[in-house]
């Protein structure tokens, strides 16, 4: 017998069995009570249908509430109404006129050496090799050996600053990906232990190369020693760029922001807003001083609001408070695992 005929036989047998059950159910019932019995069964069936419908409507309502809650989280993560830094004296930060001499020495070297030629070569070097492989948490621990010479606001270790930023974001109940950005935004400073020429191509404020250096860049006068300062190809307003070309097409001074941005873009599931926070958090002439807006495209305006939402946590969380690293590790390890699918990150 063919498979098709077997299936038809089984189907016929099943249908027959169902009919037998229905017939058996009613064949011993008195005719006088038959209609009453059928009516009771119909009412029970309708009751079950209504119950199922109510359950379905309840589930639908719960789904709508969850969607609304999710939408509110996405909408409200930029809200700073009750942010911790509202009570911070913002005038105490980025006081470069009172900065240590090491800060000024750093910026003189950075402004002199960050040229178009160097930035092109740095990007070639980045793409041609893997420097190390390690878990994100191990990379954070490694950063404890670095003191950022460009920072006038803190003498704490890098992991202390990372946890200060992340905990401030967490305290304000921002999304999990936002909290992770707080933890890893400076992780690109690992570059110092690999390809750097010093700290001048790792830390410090960032700025575009290939066009005129804005006077809103800190210690602008130091650019006079930069070979690109008098180069007619680079010292005009737009230089090698065009109006509203988009910051994605602009070469920012090479350092930990660019380095970590590319690593996270390739190896994490972080959203575009998170990647923008990482890439632009040191681009103070743009997000803090309003420079270079003529290079922005439509997407950059969206990303600017994200960077502006992150920046206060990075800047105003700097204080003398330190956290127990091992106590916080399980929470942040879970965040790392959520957004970095591979345990080992290629640096």
Kindly report the number of other CB atoms within 10 A of residue 307's CB atom: 21
User: Which residues fall within 8 angstroms of residue 337, CB to CB, at 6 or more apart?
Assistant: 343
Closest CA to 335 of 170, 132, 142, 164: 170
Q: Ramachandran region of residue 198, left (φ > 0), alpha (ψ -120 to 50) or beta?
A: left
320 is known to lie in a ligand binding site: no
Assigned token pair, 261? 């941005």
3-class DSSP state for residue 346?
Answer: strand
Kindly tell me if the per-residue pLDDT of 192 is higher than 70: yes
Per-residue pLDDT band at 92 (split at 50, 70, 90)? low
pTM of the model: 0.75
Task: Provide the β-strand partners of residue 252.
Answer: 208
148 is known to lie in a ligand binding site: yes
204 is known to lie in a ligand binding site: yes
Assigned token pair, 196? 């750097």
pLDDT of residue 78: 79
Q: Ramachandran region of residue 219, left (φ > 0), alpha (ψ -120 to 50) or beta?
A: left
pLDDT of residue 19: 47
List, in sequence order, the alpha helices (H) in the chain.
Answer: 3-27, 31-76, 101-113, 116-128, 136-142, 158-171, 176-184, 256-267, 272-280, 284-287, 298-316, 325-339
pLDDT of residue 58: 72
Kindly tell me if the per-residue pLDDT of 6 is higher than 60: no
Greatest extent of the chain over all pairs of C-alpha atoms, in Å: 109
Greater confidence (67 vs 280) lies with 280
Q: What is the pLDDT of residues 8-60, one digit of tens each?
A: 444 445 445 444 444 455 555 566 666 676 667 778 777 877 888 777 777 66
Please give the Cα distance from 75 to 321 (Å, whole number).
Answer: 31
pLDDT of residue 42: 76
pLDDT of residue 333: 98
282 is known to lie in a ligand binding site: yes
pLDDT of residue 69: 45
User: Which residues fall within 8 angstroms of residue 122, CB to CB, at 6 or more apart?
Assistant: 195, 201, 254
Kindly tell me if the per-residue pLDDT of 72 is higher than 60: no
Per-residue pLDDT band at 157 (split at 50, 70, 90)? confident
Per-residue pLDDT band at 225 (split at 50, 70, 90)? very high
Per-residue pLDDT band at 151 (split at 50, 70, 90)? low
149 is known to lie in a ligand binding site: yes
Greater confidence (101 vs 221) lies with 221
pLDDT of residue 44: 77
Greater confidence (340 vs 49) lies with 340
pLDDT of residue 27: 57
Please give the Cα distance from 304 to 112 (Å, whole number).
Answer: 28
Closest CA to 303 of 284, 282, 283, 275: 275
256 is known to lie in a ligand binding site: yes
Please give the Cα distance from 238 to 315 (Å, whole number).
Answer: 30
Q: What percent of the chain has pLDDT over 90?
A: 61
Question: What does the pLDDT average to over 96-117?
Answer: 88
Query: Which residue, chain included where needed, has tokens 């957004």?
Result: 339
Kindly tell me if the per-residue pLDDT of 339 is higher than 60: yes
Question: What does the pLDDT average to over 109-124?
Answer: 98
Greater confidence (156 vs 204) lies with 204
185 is known to lie in a ligand binding site: yes
Q: What is the pLDDT of residues 269-321, one digit of tens each?
A: 999 999 999 999 999 999 999 999 999 999 999 999 999 999 999 886 767 78
Please give the Cα distance from 201 to 198 (Å, whole number).
Answer: 6
Closest CA to 207 of 197, 198, 215, 196: 215
Greater confidence (23 vs 184) lies with 184
pLDDT of residue 341: 96
Closest CA to 103 of 9, 205, 210, 3: 205
Please give the Cα distance from 255 to 111 (Å, whole number).
Answer: 13
Closest CA to 309 of 341, 335, 339, 271: 271
Per-residue pLDDT band at 329 (split at 50, 70, 90)? very high
150 is known to lie in a ligand binding site: yes
Query: Which residue, chain included where needed, has tokens 């890439």?
Result: 279
Distances (CA, A) of 318 to 93, 160, 165: 9, 9, 8
Query: Which residue, chain included where needed, has tokens 């921002």?
Result: 174
3-class DSSP state for residue 133?
Answer: strand
């Amino acid at each position: 017998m063919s498979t098709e005929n077997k299936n038809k036989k089984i189907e016929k047998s099943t249908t027959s069995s169902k009919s037998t059950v229905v017939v058996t159910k009613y064949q011993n019932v008195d005719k006088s009570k038959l209609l009453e019995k059928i009516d009771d069964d119909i009412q029970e069936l309708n009751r079950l249908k209504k119950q199922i419908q109510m359950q379905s409507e309840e589930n639908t309502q719960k789904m709508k509430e969850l969607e609304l809650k999710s939408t509110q989280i996405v909408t409200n993560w930029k809200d700073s109404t009750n942010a911790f830094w509202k009570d911070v004296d913002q005038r105490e930060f980025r006081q470069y006129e009172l900065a240590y001499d090491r800060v000024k020495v750093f910026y003189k070297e950075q402004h002199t050496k960050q040229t178009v030629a160097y930035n092109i070569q740095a990007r070639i070097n980045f793409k041609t090799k893997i420097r190390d492989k390690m878990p994100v948490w191990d990379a954070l621990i490694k950063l404890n050996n670095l003191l950022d010479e460009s920072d006038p606001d803190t003498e704490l270790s890098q992991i202390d600053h990372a946890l200060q930023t992340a905990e401030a974001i967490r305290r304000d109940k921002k999304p999990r990906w936002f909290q992770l950005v707080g933890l890893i935004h400076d992780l690109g400073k690992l570059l110092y232990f690999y390809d750097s020429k010093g700290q001048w191509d790792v830390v410090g404020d960032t700025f575009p190369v290939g066009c005129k250096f804005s006077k809103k860049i800190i210690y602008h006068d130091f650019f006079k020693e930069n070979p690109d300062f008098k180069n007619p190809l680079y010292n005009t307003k737009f230089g090698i760029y065009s109006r509203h070309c988009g910051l994605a097409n602009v070469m920012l001074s090479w350092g930990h922001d660019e380095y970590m941005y590319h690593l996270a873009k390739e190896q994490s599931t972080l959203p575009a807003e998170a990647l923008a926070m990482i890439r632009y958090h040191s681009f103070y002439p743009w997000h803090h001083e309003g420079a270079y807006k003529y290079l922005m495209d439509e997407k950059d305006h969206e990303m600017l609001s994200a960077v502006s939402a992150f920046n206060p946590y990075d800047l105003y969380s700097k204080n003398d408070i330190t956290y127990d690293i091992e106590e916080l590790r399980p929470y942040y390890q879970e965040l790392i695992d959520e957004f970095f699918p591979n345990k080992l990150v290629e640096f």
